[in-house]
Amino acid sequence: MAQHDNLVSLWGYCIQGNSRFLIYSYMENGSLDDWLHNRDDDASSFLDWPRRLKIAQGASQGLSYIHSVCKPHIVHRGIKSSNILLDKEFKAYVADFGLSRLILPNKTHVTTELVGTLGYIP
């Protein structure tokens, strides 16, 4: 299992009938998407540029780990603001690996399959 300071931690899972549940660490400040798009208060002034840079750096460090260090390498394929979770200190964690794929060394990873979230696909 991939473990890094900027990847959300999986604590457990549950399978009940046809339902499957994953249990992750609780993130007190929700997602980056919540702060950018869904808040009634003055979130944009709270997310000043130094804080935004810290969030971007944390998310990029998590992605760099799964792309380059983790064995086998992982491609997330669904990175977006709703998949960047924020703890009480606004530390960024990459989450939701539902679309991710392993890059195995003896297999090609070239694909013509289009994946991702509409609006984030060019």
**Cβ pair 81, 93 in contact under 8 A:** no
User: Which residues are registered as beta bridge partners of 24?
Assistant: 10
User: Which residues are registered as beta bridge partners of 86?
Assistant: 92
pLDDT attached to residue 18 = 92
**Cα 13-11-55 angle, rounded to 5 deg:** 120
Model confidence at 12: pLDDT above 60: yes
The 10s digit of each residue's pLDDT in 46-96 is: 788 999 999 999 998 988 887 776 666 666 566 788 889 999 999 999 887
Domains and CATH numbers, the chain: 10-103 (1.10.510.10)
DSSP-derived 3-state class of residue 94: strand
pLDDT attached to residue 44 = 66
Task: For 60-93, give one letter per residue: b (16+ CB within 10 A) or e.
Answer: eebbebbeeebeebbbbebbeebbbbbeeebebb
